[in-house]
Amino acid sequence: DEEDRPLSARSGRSEGGKSAMSEGAQSAGGASVTSTASVSIRKYMGYLSESRSPAEVKKMVKEFVKQMVKGRDMGVLRADGALKPVVCALTRTLDVFRIKSGGETRKVKLAEVQRVLHGSPEELADLETPLDDACSTLDLDSGECISFKFAERKAAELFTLCMQMFIDGQRR
Q: Say what the pLDDT of residue 5 is.
A: 47
Q: Are 110 and 170 in contact (CB under 8 A)?
A: yes
Identify the CA nearest to 84 among candidates 132, 139, 147. Answer: 147
d(CA 97, CA 22): 12
pLDDT in tens, the chain (172 residues): 444 445 555 443 333 333 333 333 333 344 444 444 445 888 888 889 988 999 999 999 999 999 999 999 999 999 999 999 999 999 999 999 999 999 999 999 999 999 999 999 999 999 999 999 999 999 999 999 999 999 999 999 999 999 999 999 987 7
Query: Residue 19 phi/psi, 5° resolution?
Result: -85, 145
Q: Say what the pLDDT of residue 171 is.
A: 77
Q: Say what the pLDDT of residue 40 is.
A: 80
Eight-class DSSP state of 153? H
Q: Say what the pLDDT of residue 8 is.
A: 53
3-state secondary structure of 33: helix
Angular region, 3: left φ>0, alpha ψ -120 to 50, beta rest: alpha
Sheet holding 113-118, edge to edge: 104-109, 96-101, 83-90, 72-77, 145-149, 135-140, 113-118
Packing angle between helix 153-171 and helix 54-70, nearest 10 degrees? 80
- The b/e string for 78-113 (b: 16+ C-beta within 10 A; e otherwise) is bbeeeebebebbbbbebbbbbbbbeeebbbbebebb
